[in-house]
Amino acid sequence: MNDPTTALPPFSDRSGVTDAVRVQILATEHWSLLATRSMTWNEIFSRASMYFTLLSAAVVALALVAQATDFGPSFLLFALLVLPIVLLMGIGTFLRLSQANSDNFGQVAGMNRLRHAYLELAPELEPYFTTTHNDDIASIMQSSGQGSRISVAYLLAGTPTLVIAINSVVAGVIASLIAETLRATSTANVVVGVVAALAVAFGHGMVVHHTIKHGRSGYHPRFPRS
């Protein structure tokens, strides 16, 4: 039996490990990251679809109740019961999207490192790679299809931005309904709704900023661009 106190030699120093075996191990890890990334985004698409379905159902229900009650006290009560549930679902969806973006960043970084290993074994294949093989932040963004910098169009077209906009509107409507219940004037209702919507949008933006800042401060590339 082997002595358990005897340390194994480093991987690079072990005999009998060919480049073909190393490539197979790297490819297995690469496919594992691809599968994990696919599962993550499938879950996110499902969560976003669930949220939009719930929102649509809530809007239809509110329209039917409004028609039946002529926007009376019963409608206000029903809306104040339904819309907070919609907002809670929206906030949960947004938080999961933020976490998915962080997970995606790590997965793309891992795949870039694996490509770097491929090119160490076969550097002549570099012209055939359409994605980068470095793991600095700019390279990771490029491999994600965002370019070297995040553009305004990319942010506005993203699902998280859409969820933020919907959550802000729902929060504004809830605030206006509360003000209406308290017998506030029409002008006060509008002001309260706008302020609440802006506050929720600002809160979501702070979460995004904190997530990006925390992720970048704790990330240290191993193979940055020279």
**d(C-alpha 110, C-alpha 141), whole Å:** 13
Mean pLDDT of the chain: 86
Number of domains in the chain: 1
Q: Is residue 211 situated within a structural domain?
A: yes
How does pLDDT run across 132-162, given as a tens digit for each residue? Answer: 899 888 888 888 776 656 667 777 778 889 9
Query: What kind and span of H or E run contains 43?
Result: helix 19-69
Sequence-distant (≥ 6) Cβ neighbours of residue 99 within 8 angstroms: none
- CB 209 within 8 Å of CB 169: no
Q: Is residue 204 part of a domain?
A: yes
Alpha carbon distances (Å) from 157 to 23, 163, 171: 38, 11, 21
In a domain, 98, yes or no: yes
Q: Is residue 141 part of a domain?
A: yes
Does residue 2 lie within any of the structural domains? no
3-state helix, strand, coil in the chain (%, to 5): 80, 0, 20
Does some domain include residue 10? no
The verdict on pTM exceeding 0.85 is no
Answer whether residue 12 is part of any domain.
no
pLDDT digits (tens, 9 = 90+) for 68-106: 988 888 999 999 999 999 999 999 999 999 888 888 888
Domain containing residue 192: 19-217
pLDDT of residue 146: 66
Dihedral sign, Cα of residue 104, residue 140, residue 147, residue 117: negative
Residue 131, domain member (yes or no): yes
